[in-house]
Chain A
Amino acid sequence: MRARWIRTGRGLACLVLCGALASCQRPTQPLLPPPLFEFQGPSPEPLASRENNLPAQEIRDADTPATMEDFERYAGTIRILFGRGSAELTPIARAVLDRQAAWLRAHPDIRASLQGHADELAPREQQFALGEKRAAAMKFYLTARGVAPQRLFVTSFGRERPVATGSDEASQCQNRRGETVLLGLPGLSRP
């Protein structure tokens, strides 16, 4: 995560902690209609974007138990972020999902719950649909990266489980997220 100071349209300085999402840089922009997400599959742009500077890590050998910690260590994060009202995967999100897909391919017995979340700035009901749209985009991408679709379970929490509150953009942009939670791990309680 990088921190940077942004000048908003109202002339306020706002600390943005959400990485390089363009929407986070314009806190006062009106709600735009969500772009249609691409059904033609992942775009071929280079995955090693500037922000993608996590050191490449090896998937450990078969003796390493499959745990949420090992998944998170390898993928860097279980969480990806989206733009406001959008279910489009950013280059950073794609890079994270690439690593998640690699780990999931190496652990074919593990299933995953893809959990879409939305911010608190729009009415409740439509945010359930937006969360599902985000999680469906994750599933589509992971499937294209070689993870069997039967192993992936799409769900949406709408705006009911925010990680950050406060009506400011710096808080709300962290809620526009998708999380990959592993299922079927030995000794793991339900997510």
Chain B
Amino acid sequence: MRRSILSAVLVPLVALASPLRAEGPLHVDITQGVASPLLIAVPDILSGSIPDVAGGEDAGAALAKIVRADLVSTGLYRLVPFDGHYAIADEIAFAPFARAGAQALVIGRARPAGNNLLAYDCALYDVFGAHVEASQRIIVATAQWRRAAHKCADMVFAFTTGDPGHFDTRMLVAAQDGAIPGQRTRLVSMDYDGANPTELTQGKELVATPRFGPGSRRIVFLSYVDAAAPRLVVADLDSGSTTALKLPAGVPSAPRFSPDGATIVFSLAYDGDADIYAVNLASNSVRQLTSGAGTDTSPSFAPDGSAIVFESNRSGDSQLYVMAPDGSDQRRVSFGAGGHASPVWSPRGDLIAFTQIDGGALRIGIMKPDGSKERILTSGSRDEDPSWGMSGRAIMFQRTAAGAMLPTIWLTDLTGKVQQPVATGAAASEPAWSGKRP
């Protein structure tokens, strides 16, 4: 669509010394948890109103606000408050920020770039070293002005953590109306923070288990256009085309793309038995990966494609298993308390997120792929459907509060200490978090 040309023109202002990894003073060491988050200041640099940006508010202030919200949501940064603001042409001295204790300073200057474009010059400074660490000129269509702030935050995140940021991303949810689940459900895509929602289906039929393919363009979901025969549907969000997969008899569910996007793994229930299958999207050839009694479901590929984690109740209760992509070498990996379900492999490959079944409660947890170092991150009564951000440093999930009928979407860091709801508007469930946007 149009946005492919206009959106992501990134021109480095100052050459980045090292593309992602930084060992300098601004490096956030995540392996040590968030005991000492990076102290960062993101002052408002007023630009005045820019047409079609921020609804006529001061564009610079609106963009800085988004950058601050992005960074704080990770738990890796602590904002140093700064009263006052600068004009776009002001020279900015480091001294006040050094006195306030800031280690890092983010300066973003917004300007109209003509032809319905917005230019946002985003720079990350080392306050004590008094020099620029990374900078970018971000040019976006004014209608997509929020992406400029997300890209600025992505640059800061990437430089300080060594991992790609997850802010300029989209999310899919199954949104719905009414008071009871399952009414007028529709697939809605939105920015990861809930802004810019787009309805992808009209609510005429039930939809479930949406997932993104690699990147943010293709999706797969379960559609009940024919209630007597639900189908897995692959959709291309750029062209709008949809394809219902031709699968063997049975009820498909829990689809997920392979990392290369060529294959979809899913669970197919037939005659009371559910097994994991893989369908090649080019040849439409279907291969059965698991067999035998018990429910096998929720397959999820390792990011290098070398293994698949899935859920099975073959041992009695729901636990996680890992197998090779051809279905061989199946072995159980979850041995922590309670049942384990809905596994999702982190884009970094180092962790598997899952839903823990503890009596009547459902909670989000993470573990290493061999099952060690299991940690439960949430403490709600029904927290489920984890989905990783592309940074591998944040998880979106669905929370149904005690006594509530309908769920909401929440975001958590990997310590569970920083959790916040995502403003999705209507009730929403089953978050699916995209990879990198074009």
Q: What residues of chain A have their CB less than 8 Å away from a CB belonging to chain B? A: 28, 30-31, 33-34, 36-37, 87, 113, 115, 120-126, 128-133, 136-137, 153-158, 160-162, 165-167, 181, 183, 190-191
Contacts and interface: CB of A to CB of B under 8 A. Distances in A.
B311 A125 contact: yes
A68 to B, nearest CB: 14
B298 A125 contact: yes
Contacts of A136: 269-272
Contacts of B274: 128-129, 132-133
Given A30-B359, A129-B251, 18 more contacts: A33-B316, A120-B181, A123-B311, A124-B342, A125-B341, A125-B342, A126-B311, A126-B341, A128-B274, A129-B253, A129-B274, A133-B273, A157-B182, A160-B182, A161-B182, A162-B180, A165-B180, A167-B402
16 contacts: A121-B360, A123-B355, A125-B342, A126-B313, A128-B269, A128-B297, A129-B253, A133-B273, A155-B229, A156-B269, A161-B181, A161-B182, A161-B206, A165-B405, A166-B403, A167-B403
Nearest to A122: B357
Contact of B253 (A158, A161, A191): A158
B5 interface: no
B250 interface: yes
A154 B251 contact: yes
A109 B73 CA distance: 60
Contacts, number: 142
Contacts of B360: 28, 30, 121, 167
B119 interface: no
B385 interface: yes
B273 to A, nearest CB: 8
B293 A36 contact: yes
B89 interface: no
Interface residues of B, number: 52
B254 A125 contact: yes
A8 to B, nearest CB: 12
Contact of B227 (A34, A87, A155, A165): A155
Contact of B385 (A28, A34, A124): A124
Contacts of A37: 272
Interface of B: 179-182, 185, 206, 208-209, 222, 224, 226-230, 250-251, 253-254, 267, 269-274, 293, 295, 297-298, 311, 313, 316-318, 339, 341-342, 355, 357, 359-360, 362, 381-382, 384-385, 400, 402-403, 405, 430
B302 to A, nearest CB: 18
Contact of B384 (A123, A181, A191): A123
B384 A124 contact: yes
B342 A132 contact: no
Contact of B313 (A33, A162, A183, A190): A33
Contacts of A125: 209, 253-254, 267, 297-298, 311, 341-342
Closest 7 CB pairs of A and B: A132-B269, A129-B274, A128-B253, A123-B341, A113-B228, A125-B254, A129-B295
Contacts of B295: 34, 126, 129-130, 133
Contacts of A162: 180-182
A120 B383 CA distance: 12
A183 B317 contact: no
Contacts of B209: 124-125
Contacts of B253: 125, 128-129, 156, 158
Contacts of B273: 133
A169 B43 CA distance: 52
Given A33-B313, A129-B295, A157 B430 contact: no
Contacts of B355: 123
Contacts of B430: 124
A31 B251 contact: no
Contacts of B270: 132, 136
Contacts of B381: 167
A44 B384 CA distance: 42
Contacts of A123: 298, 311, 318, 341-342, 355, 357, 362, 384-385
